[in-house]
Chain A
Amino acid sequence: MVTRWASPSRRVSALEKSPVSLLVPFYFFLLGLLILFSLILLVQGVTGAGRNDSVTNMLFIMTGLTGLVSTFYMIRRYQLSVQKTLKERKIVVLTVEECSKCSYKAVRPFREGDYVYGYGEECPRCPKSLGDTGVENRMVITAIYLEGGRQEERY
């Protein structure tokens, strides 16, 4: 559930995964056993397996169904959590630059050292005059924001 857009948390997720990477196959192995067991119970319940005892058969069928339903529920939940992790990773911080002379606007990924109302890159549209000190031709950063900025699930 750690947000994964920042690199430190990404590394935390890596740390979290080292024990998890062993646990996940084991988890699925258990789920597989559960499915198998549930199916056997279900088949036994349906065929009656030589007994003419309806209560036991009913119990077998119920247990089998419950087992199957809960296994599929668990698998679905695992899928959802994986999807959520992947979705959260794609968030990037963007810098918006504007030229004060020709109002050209550009959006690019954030670089270290950028700040709002600091100088950005040179304007590609305005010609660079000779003897320029370097600052005059540069665009001004007007905004820095998080791309796809919704970090929370909507309810």
Chain B
Amino acid sequence: MQTPLFLGQDNTDIGYIINILYIAMFLVLVFWGEKIQTRIRLRDIEYALERLRLMRDESVKFTKEKLKKYGREEINRFLDNYLEFVTIPPVDMDPAGVVWKLDHIVKTAEDRVRSEIKQIIPDLDESHVLNIMNLFEASYALNYYYKVVRHYYILSKKTSSYILIIQLQAILPQVMMEAEAYLGALQAFSSGQPIGDGAGALVAARLMRGGEIFDIERDNVCTVKNIQGRRVYFMKAKGPGGAVGTPGDALMKLSEKESFKMIFMVDAGLKLEGEKTGSIAEGVGAIIGGIGTEKYKIEEVATKKAIPLYGMIIKMSLKEAITPMTKDVLNGVEEAHQLLLKRIVEKSSEGDTVMVIGVGNTMGIAQ
């Protein structure tokens, strides 16, 4: 009778082959196991990197194609230069006053790009210049993602550092998601479609309808309306170009001559995974994104004059924020609009002056 045998312990040909294979595999895995894993991971990263490069090239190509109708060759060269454009943040060892320096630097950078585009294509109206800048920024972001991932890829290859490779591979899915969002944004940016980030601006635009509109500071529009006995200022970035405006500057200027009882802010906000797009979260504080300079100014005004800051966030993912506004976001806008009107009446009393700021990129949304 045959006793049960382990694999390959019988004396058949197949048994020998399996035996040898097992020993070989064992040795290979012991000596080169980590190397093989590294190689596999690196190939994954390589694939992602290649996709990032394709996306970057596609974005640049798309932008150049879109700019062809203006018939200026220089704009292509400017775009190539712009991809390597650097904005150096101010030194923050002594943080006092650093916000104003940053504000100055950012505005200078924006002015430079804006004036250069205008110089190349002189008969372009303001909203198109802004849309082109947004397009440029998408290419810039994609190029940046590509360059950073490439940097770490090459570095981890050179040092063959397992930890570095694992870290890079761990963040890659998120990087790819964001890069794809930017790629998806191109279509909206090039044809001036409202994007999800414009939700706050759209709420303000809806409330501004019918009022007399005036420009204030850089890229902002403002109007005053009477809502059940309250003097309500509505403000947003000036559309339909892709501007975000400078609500901080505008608020500082307005609060010189007006004493606001409260400030309401509406903005698009990033949702956490699992939250519903277009749902509204109410809260307190200066609800505005970006590098923080406008937020600082608004907080300064509010704190100095003890004005309560109320806010509303319309939630969406990054992708929904920079691609054409979805129906869910639009429903959120409708809801925020109604809720805001209700809150203005609830929180203030007759005769008060109230400020409402619709924050966000106002591309494709006039007033």
Contacts and interface: CB of A to CB of B under 8 A. Distances in A.
Interface of A: 1-3, 5-9, 11-12, 15-16, 51, 53, 55-56, 59, 93, 110, 112-118, 143-152, 155
Contact of A7 (B51, B187, B367): B187
A9 B330 CA distance: 24
B364 interface: yes
B364 A151 contact: no
Given A112-B191, A145-B329, 18 more contacts: A1-B180, A6-B323, A8-B62, A11-B62, A15-B54, A15-B58, A16-B51, A55-B5, A115-B240, A116-B239, A116-B365, A117-B205, A117-B366, A118-B366, A144-B324, A146-B323, A147-B327, A149-B329
A66 to B, nearest CB: 15
Contacts of B329: 145, 149
B12 interface: yes
25 contacts: A3-B323, A6-B188, A7-B187, A8-B62, A11-B62, A12-B55, A12-B58, A16-B51, A51-B12, A55-B5, A55-B10, A59-B7, A114-B364, A115-B192, A115-B194, A115-B239, A115-B240, A115-B365, A115-B366, A116-B202, A117-B205, A145-B325, A145-B326, A149-B329, A151-B319
B328 A149 contact: yes
A151 B324 CA distance: 11
Secondary structure of the A side of the interface?
A: loop
Interface in B179-232: 180, 183-184, 186-188, 191-194, 202, 205, 209
Nearest to A9: B183
B59 interface: yes
Contact of A151 (B191, B320, B330): B320
Nearest to A6: B187
A115 to B, nearest CB: 4
Nearest to B185: A6
Contact of A3 (B2, B59, B184, B365): B184
A55 B7 contact: yes
Contacts of B365: 115-117
Nearest to B327: A149
A95 to B, nearest CB: 9
Contacts of B4: 55
A147 B191 CA distance: 16
Nearest to B317: A152
A108 B317 CA distance: 26
Given A118-B240, A118-B366, A16 B193 contact: no
B266 to A, nearest CB: 15
A51 B12 CA distance: 10
A116 B320 contact: no
Nearest to B18: A59
Contacts of A113: 192
A100 to B, nearest CB: 10
Given A53-B12, A59-B7, A6 B54 contact: no
B14 interface: yes
